[in-house]
Chain A
Amino acid sequence: MILLVVMALALGAILVRLVDLQGVQQDHLAALGLRQRVHTVTLAAERGSIFDRNGNDLALSMPQRTVYADPRFVKDPAGYAARLAPIVGVDAGALAARLAQRDKEFVYVARKVDDATAKQVKALRLPGVGFVAESKRFDPAGNLAGPVLGFTGLDNDGLSGLERAYENTLRGRPGQLVAENDPGGREIPATERRDVPAQRGGDLVLTLDQSLQYEVEQRLTEQVGSTRAKGGMAIVADVQTGDVLAMATVDGADGKAPAHPAPPTEQNRPLATVYEPGSTNKVIDVASALETGAITPSTVFDVPWALQIADARFEDHVWHPPERWTARDIMRESSNVGAILVAHKVGKVRLDQYLRSFGFGTKTAIDFPGESAGLLLDPAKYSETSMGSVPVGNGLAVTAMQMLDVFATIANGGMSRPPRIVAATIDADGTRHDVPPAPGHRVVSAETAASVNDMLRSVVNEGTGYLAAVPGYTVAGKTGTAGKPPYRDGEYMASFAGFAPAESPRLAAIVVLDQPVTNYYGGQVAAPVFAKIMQYALRLERVAPTVAMTVQPRRTGSTVSNDAPPPASTTTTRPPARPPGNVAGTGP
């Protein structure tokens, strides 16, 4: 009897508990169970790739494995941390603290580990520890075009360069995965529910040529190293399309490392850094004077060696007696005094208009992150000496890209051709969308451009730019040597900008060396780099030579020789120039 009562009470208690669990607390317990089982994971979208113009990968993302843990299933955080930390290379104490956060469902153990590390972690078979795929960004060509491409952060967000400028295109759209786990932390098969699929990021197709980019970086690095410059910049562009084929930034040696191409963490200096252009600016003086009719190609100037303007004295870099020079002579000799006289014919207002029409004072069509518009003074605020300094390329500051645009405009018959770096995008379903070139505008007439073209040829054939000559081609260009504020001795920006073939221009290039030590004249240190990169670029673009080369028979009797002497212009020696003596220290 007593046994019956005890059994009845026990069964009654079980029944009550059953009703309580299955009835009263049903919803609460079901929700609790669901919360314990259901695991929501954000599916990161694969970031888009960046290609060069030939389809070579410059930046791409690869899935790597990220190790995570669900602290709700980690019974021994310290023990887990002790086993995991040495494998994944994280601090055991910090990892243990993360694993002890029982209110969290997801904590990182280590992000984007390689396959070997993931295999070791998997071999531990720790409940609650799992893997999720994450993308890692790779630059297969190393630092090639690093400042142009930029870099991404740990969460694959673009932080600089094109990675940042085109973040919306490249990042894609993340998805979401909802899965149910068992008490051991393992996914229960056939219960996965993908709510939102991820959308792959769009890709960029650049105008850069990987091979040319490498060549430009190497040649520039060699010269920066040998002249012990602080750094250098170089750009090569197609004058007909505005496509930038190469854009290089090089750091000088700093005691810890030799000269080297700049890494992605650095500024893209051809677009972001401004400098006083010096004598390369004389192109605008002459072009504006011809265009406005202030001078003709045959106008003769009486050019003394020095000119006093207010309290400043401007001098030519080489002493000479008073000369009767045309604009062509002034350009060939890179005469500061001559350029000032030409600019005075134009006047400050019109000169300023042409400076702006050529692109100074405005960002280029590239619109790169951190790009500078340059510095251009309002002519109403000119000082008494401004019309001495501006014509010779001081008192204003430009980017290397802006200066190259000037020469590309002349090369293109007076029509500006806005530069571009991105040629196309490829969207998530593989459809290519070409980016149309931005429309240009007429800056000077074709006739003016042809006259200036001819003058620039004389700079290379007979003047200060003879080291820019490329065998087999006619080159047009201008040297520049400008003092760096505050104009201390020996601190100059040495540059050369030009285009080839001059008869039918295809490519333009600029080389700028920042404070070379061994020799600071643009014609001596920048022009030779220009020659090398232009030669490579012309060959790459399969542009046929425009100058017939003389073929000398070999002494052994064969009719064709590879030992033909270079054109005479490359072997002409120039007398050493006097150090610049004008106020701003502008040389040829």
Chain B
Amino acid sequence: MRGSVAAVVVTVLVVVGFHVVMAEGQFRLERLAKDAGREQQRYEGLRLEYAQRAAPQAIVERATKIGMVPAITPRYVSVPGLPAEGSHGDGPTATPPTVGQDWEKVKPHLVAQP
């Protein structure tokens, strides 16, 4: 009789303990999800800020503010010994890397809704 009561008490304690652990895990999961959401929001905010600062109008305004002026009409010179043929633009692009170029790697890891 005493053994049965003890078994029941132990079982109840185990079940309660299990539920406590489950609930704690759930809360931790929700905290992590909120942290992830916050970081994603921060990423997206920085991305918008980057895009706004990198916009041509913004760059021109900042350049004008610090006293820069548009370049004069470029002149090209021929180097003796080298042909002046067109190269069909095969040279490396001078465009700096942008946020969008990493987008394909980043996108799958972002939450799909705002």
Are B110 and A200 in contact, CB atoms less than 8 angstroms apart? Answer: yes
The residues of B that contact A214 with a CB separation of less than 8 Å are 56-57, 60
CB distance from B1 to the nearest CB of A (A): 33
Chain A residues within an 8 Å CB radius of B97: 55
The stretch that binds B, out of A72-80, A131-139, A384-392, is: A131-139
Per the bound structure, the CA–CA distance linking A175 and B52 in Å amounts to 30
Q: Is B44 an interface residue (CB 8 A)?
A: yes
The answer to whether A45 and B91 have CB atoms under 8 Å apart is no
CA distance A487 to B75 in the complex (A): 43
Q: Is the CB of A46 within 8 A of B78?
A: no
> What is the bound-complex CA distance between A57 and B46, given in angstroms?
12
Mask: chain B, 93-114; 1 = CB below 8 Å from A; 0 = not: 1110111110111111011111
Number of residues from B at the complex interface, CB < 8 A:
51
Residue from B26, B94, B106 within 8 A of A430 (CB atoms): B106
- State which residues 132-184 of A face B: CB under 8 Å: 133-135, 138, 140-142, 144, 172, 174-175
A549–B86 CB distance below 8 A: no
Contact between chains at B87 and A544 (CB < 8 Å) = yes
Given contacts A546-B84, A548-B84, A560-B77, contact A138 B103 (CB under 8 A): no
Interface segment among A32-40, A274-282, A498-506: the answer is A498-506
8 Å CB contact of A471 from B47, B75, B78, B86: B75
A349 to B30, CA, bound (A): 73
Contact with B along A453-475 (1 / 0, CB 8 A): 00000000000000000011000
Interface residues of B in 40-99 (CB under 8 A from A): 41, 44-45, 47-48, 50-52, 54-57, 60, 72-78, 84-91, 93-95, 97-99
Q: Across the interface, do A199 and B112 meet the contact criterion of CB distance under 8 Å? A: yes
Docked Cα-Cα span, A262 to B38, in Å, equals 36
Bound together, the chains give a CA A200 to CA B110 distance in angstroms of 9
Instruction: Give the residue of B44, B93, B112 whose beta carbon is less than 8 angstroms from that of A62.
Output: B44
Closest chain B residue, CB of each to CB of A505: B86
Q: Which residue of A lies closest to B44 (CB)?
A: A62
Min distance, Cβ A155 to any Cβ of chain B, angstroms: 13
Given contact pairs A175-B112, A429-B107, A55 touches B100 in the complex (Cβ within 8 A):
yes
Interfacial chain B residues near A140, Cβ < 8 Å: 48, 51-52, 54-55
Does B18 touch A at the CB level, under 8 Å? no
Please name the 6 residue pairs, one residue from A and one from B, whose CB atoms are nearest each other, closest first.
Answer: A55-B100, A63-B114, A140-B51, A214-B56, A57-B51, A141-B55
